[in-house]
């Protein structure tokens, strides 16, 4: 699987994209196209910051020392970000629901791609990632 074209190998740019996604998720409550101000939504802000920091941190760990649990965690966190507007109760907030659903979908797709790329690698091959 590792020689299957451009997307067949886990590359470091994917980890950098994950870090960028984490930063975007942290900043998402303050994006300029909001319908309403985010004041009074402390749970939503805390959720976005926590999820963004987890995505950013896991992507940094993947860049340094790649392991499969990181990719599975990335997928689960992305799924939480998709579900969080409905679970926490800010699904009527318009653009923020769209932001979190879209960013969560991209996080899930990136995690699935990385897991697919690393599925057949042994632990030694995963440790050589980024070198």
Q: What is the pLDDT of residues 26-84, one digit of tens each?
A: 998 887 665 555 555 788 889 999 999 999 999 988 888 777 788 899 999 999 999 99
Instruction: Classify residue 65: in a domain, yes or no.
Output: yes
Instruction: Check whether 99 has a pLDDT greater than 50.
Output: yes
The Cα 91–Cα 15 span in angstroms is 29
Which is more confidently placed, 22 or 41?
22
Instruction: Classify residue 29: in a domain, yes or no.
Output: yes
Query: Would you say the pTM of this structure is higher than 0.85?
Result: no
Token digits for 129? 């990632």
Q: What is the model's pLDDT at position 124?
A: 63
Q: 1 falls in which pLDDT band (50, 70, 90)?
A: very low
Instruction: Classify residue 3: in a domain, yes or no.
Output: no
In whole angstroms, how far apart are CA 107 and each of 4, 34, 40, 117, 125? 22, 22, 27, 15, 24
How many structural domains is the chain composed of? 1
Distance of CA 1 to the CA centre of its chain: 23
The rounded percent of the chain whose pLDDT value lies above 70 is 75
Cβ count within 10 A of residue 109: 12
Which is more confidently placed, 111 or 125?
111
Domain that holds residue 38: 10-127
Instruction: Classify residue 5: in a domain, yes or no.
Output: no
Instruction: Check whether 117 has a pLDDT greater than 60.
Output: yes
Instruction: Classify residue 104: in a domain, yes or no.
Output: yes
Instruction: Classify residue 40: in a domain, yes or no.
Output: yes
Instruction: Classify residue 50: in a domain, yes or no.
Output: yes
Instruction: Classify residue 58: in a domain, yes or no.
Output: yes
């Amino acid at each position: 699987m590792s020689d299957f074209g451009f997307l067949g190998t886990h590359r470091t740019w994917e980890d950098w994209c994950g870090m960028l996604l984490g930063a975007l998720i942290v900043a998402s409550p303050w994006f300029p196209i909001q319908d309403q101000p985010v004041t009074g939504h402390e749970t939503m802000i805390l959720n976005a910051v926590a999820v963004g920091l987890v995505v950013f941190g896991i992507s940094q760990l993947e860049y340094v020392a790649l392991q499969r649990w990181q990719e599975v965690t990335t997928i689960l966190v992305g799924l939480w970000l998709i579900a969080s507007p409905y679970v926490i109760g800010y699904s009527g907030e318009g653009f923020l629901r769209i932001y979190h659903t879209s960013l969560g979908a991209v996080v899930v797709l990136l995690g699935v791609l990385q897991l697919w790329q690393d599925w057949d690698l042994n632990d030694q091959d995963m440790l050589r990632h980024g070198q």
